[in-house]
Structure 1
Amino acid sequence: MATSQSGCARHDGAGMSYVCLDCDEELICRECRDDLHKGHNLHDVSEVLTRKREIIRQYLDSLSLTDQSEDSVEDTEWKLRENSRTFRSLVERIRKQGEVMKGAIDTIIDRLVKVCAEIEKHNAALLETYKASQHMECRTPGVEICEKLITSGTNEEVMRVAKTCQSRSFPGKTKMVDFRIKPLVTAHLQHMLGKLTVDGLDHEYQLTNTCTILSQFQHVSTASTCRAIGDEQAWLSHWADDVIYRVDQQGHVKESVHCGVKVRQMALCPGTGRVWFCCWDDCTIREILDRPETRIVTDQSPMSLCVTADSTVVVGVAGDVRLYTKDGRTISSGEIPCRQSAMTPHHLACCPQTGDIAVADNDGVVYDEYVSKSGTGGKRPHIKVMDKHLNVRFCYPDIDRRGDIHQLLRYPYDVCFDARGDVLVADWATHSVLQVDGGRGHFLRTVYTGDAAPHTVSLQRSGVLWVGLVGRTVRVLKYREEHDEG
Structure 2
Amino acid sequence: MASSSTEESGCSHHHGVQFLYVCSDCGEELVCQECRHDLHQGHNLTDVSDVIPRKREIIRQYIDELSSTGRQSNDSAGDTEDKLQENRSSFESLRTSIRRQGEAMKGVVEAVVDRLVNVCTDIERSNAKLIENYKTSQERESEIPQVDVCEEVIRSGTDTEVMKLAQMFQSAPLKIKMVNYCPRPLVTAQLQHMLGALTVDGLHHEYQRAKTCTILSQFQHLSTASTCRAIESEQDQAWLSHWGDSVIYRVDQQGLVKEKVCCGVKVRHMALCPETGRVWFCCWEDGTVREILDQPVTRIVTDLSPMSLCVTVDCTVVVGVAGDIRLYTKDGHTVTSNDLPCTQSAVTPHHLACCSQTGDIAVADNDGVVYDEYISGSRTGKHPHIKVMDKQLCIRFRYPDTTRWSDIHQLLRYPYDVCFDRMGDILVADWATHSVLQIDGGRGHLLRTVYTCDAAPHTISQQGGVLWVGLVGRTVRVLKHRVEHEEEDL
State whether TM-score is above 0.5.
yes
Q: Which moved more, 1:451-460 or 1:288-297?
A: 288-297
Equivalent residue in structure 2 for 1:294, among 290, 295, 298: 298
Contact kept, 8 Å, 1:8 with 1:14, in 2: the verdict is no
Give the distance between the partners of 1:97 and 1:384, measured in 2 at CA: 37
Residue equivalent to 1:46:
52
Contact kept, 8 Å, 1:7 with 1:14, in 2: the verdict is no
Residue equivalent to 2:219:
217
Residue equivalent to 1:481:
483
Once the two structures are TM-superposed, the CA of residue 459 in structure 1 deviates from its matched residue by 1.9
Q: Find out whether 1:430 has 2:436 as its counterpart.
A: no
Once the two structures are TM-superposed, the CA of residue 319 in structure 1 deviates from its matched residue by 0.3
Equivalent residue in structure 2 for 1:282, among 283, 286, 292: 286
How many residues matched? 470
Amino acid in structure 1 at the alignment position of 2:69: L
Amino acid in structure 2 at the alignment position of 1:52: I
Q: Mark the CA change 1:68 to 1:175 in structure 2 (over 3 Å): closer, same or farther.
A: farther
Q: Find out whether 1:261 has 2:265 as its counterpart.
A: yes
Taking the TM superposition and a 5 Å limit, the aligned residue runs for 1:203-242 are 205-206=206-207, 207-229=209-231, 230-231=233-234, 232-242=236-246
SS at match of 1:385: strand
SS at match of 2:359: coil
Contact kept, 8 Å, 2:212 with 2:483, in 1: the verdict is no
Contact kept, 8 Å, 2:9 with 2:19, in 1: the verdict is no
Q: Find out whether 1:348 has 2:352 as its counterpart.
A: yes
Give the distance between the partners of 2:333 and 2:130, measured in 1 at CA: 84
Q: Mark the CA change 1:389 to 1:211 in structure 2 (over 3 Å): closer, same or farther.
A: same
Contact kept, 8 Å, 1:55 with 1:371, in 2: the verdict is no
Contact kept, 8 Å, 1:7 with 1:16, in 2: the verdict is no
SS at match of 1:46: helix
Residue equivalent to 1:63:
69
Once the two structures are TM-superposed, the CA of residue 104 in structure 1 deviates from its matched residue by 5.5
Residue equivalent to 1:467:
469
Q: Mark the CA change 1:130 to 1:403 in structure 2 (over 3 Å): closer, same or farther.
A: same
Give the distance between the partners of 1:349 and 1:193, measured in 2 at CA: 35
Contact kept, 8 Å, 1:343 with 1:364, in 2: the verdict is yes
Give the distance between the partners of 1:174 and 1:261, measured in 2 at CA: 80
Contact kept, 8 Å, 1:414 with 1:425, in 2: the verdict is yes
Give the distance between the partners of 2:395 and 2:91, measured in 1 at CA: 44
Once the two structures are TM-superposed, the CA of residue 449 in structure 1 deviates from its matched residue by 2.0
Equivalent residue in structure 2 for 1:372, among 371, 376, 383: 376
Taking the TM superposition and a 5 Å limit, the aligned residue runs for 1:60-459 are 60=66, 63=69, 67-68=72-73, 90-91=94-95, 94-95=98-99, 97-99=101-103, 101-102=105-106, 105-106=109-110, 109=113, 113=117, 120=124, 124=128, 131=135, 138=142, 153=157, 178=179, 193-199=195-201, 205-206=206-207, 207-229=209-231, 230-231=233-234, 232-377=236-381, 379-403=382-406, 408-459=411-462
Q: Mark the CA change 1:35 to 1:81 in structure 2 (over 3 Å): closer, same or farther.
A: farther
Amino acid in structure 2 at the alignment position of 1:46: I
Give the distance between the partners of 1:100 and 1:390, measured in 2 at CA: 45
Q: Mark the CA change 1:421 to 1:336 in structure 2 (over 3 Å): closer, same or farther.
A: same
Percent identical among aligned pairs is 63
Give the distance between the partners of 2:301 and 2:194, measured in 1 at CA: 60
Give the distance between the partners of 1:312 and 1:107, measured in 2 at CA: 54
SS at match of 2:219: strand
SS at match of 1:98: helix
Once the two structures are TM-superposed, the CA of residue 70 in structure 1 deviates from its matched residue by 6.7
Once the two structures are TM-superposed, the CA of residue 453 in structure 1 deviates from its matched residue by 1.5
SS at match of 2:10: coil
Once the two structures are TM-superposed, the CA of residue 322 in structure 1 deviates from its matched residue by 1.6
Once the two structures are TM-superposed, the CA of residue 272 in structure 1 deviates from its matched residue by 3.5
Give the distance between the partners of 1:466 and 1:91, measured in 2 at CA: 40
- Output one character per residue of 1:15-59: Cα deviation in whole Å (capped at 9) or x when no partner: 76544567776656x557557864466554325405633762685
Residue equivalent to 2:10:
10
Contact kept, 8 Å, 1:215 with 1:249, in 2: the verdict is yes
Q: Which moved more, 1:211-220 or 1:280-289?
A: 280-289
Once the two structures are TM-superposed, the CA of residue 69 in structure 1 deviates from its matched residue by 6.7
Q: Which moved more, 1:355-364 or 1:203-212?
A: 203-212
SS at match of 1:370: helix
Q: Mark the CA change 1:50 to 1:327 in structure 2 (over 3 Å): closer, same or farther.
A: farther
Give the distance between the partners of 1:62 and 1:68, measured in 2 at CA: 9
Once the two structures are TM-superposed, the CA of residue 109 in structure 1 deviates from its matched residue by 3.8
Q: Which moved more, 1:229-238 or 1:19-28?
A: 19-28
Q: Which moved more, 1:178-187 or 1:243-252?
A: 178-187
Q: Which moved more, 1:34-43 or 1:365-374?
A: 34-43
Q: Mark the CA change 1:402 to 1:47 in structure 2 (over 3 Å): closer, same or farther.
A: farther
- Output one character per residue of 1:184-229: Cα deviation in whole Å (capped at 9) or x when no partner: 798986676454343367x685352331111111112111111222
Q: Mark the CA change 1:87 to 1:177 in structure 2 (over 3 Å): closer, same or farther.
A: farther
Amino acid in structure 1 at the alignment position of 2:368: G
Give the distance between the partners of 2:413 and 2:103, measured in 1 at CA: 39
- Output one character per residue of 1:262-289: Cα deviation in whole Å (capped at 9) or x when no partner: 2211222334433222221222223334
Q: Mark the CA change 1:439 to 1:19 in structure 2 (over 3 Å): closer, same or farther.
A: same
Q: Mark the CA change 1:251 to 1:340 in structure 2 (over 3 Å): closer, same or farther.
A: same
Give the distance between the partners of 1:309 and 1:119, measured in 2 at CA: 53
Once the two structures are TM-superposed, the CA of residue 341 in structure 1 deviates from its matched residue by 0.8
Give the distance between the partners of 1:7 and 1:134, measured in 2 at CA: 105
Amino acid in structure 1 at the alignment position of 2:475: T
Q: Mark the CA change 1:178 to 1:404 in structure 2 (over 3 Å): closer, same or farther.
A: farther
Q: Mark the CA change 1:47 to 1:261 in structure 2 (over 3 Å): closer, same or farther.
A: farther
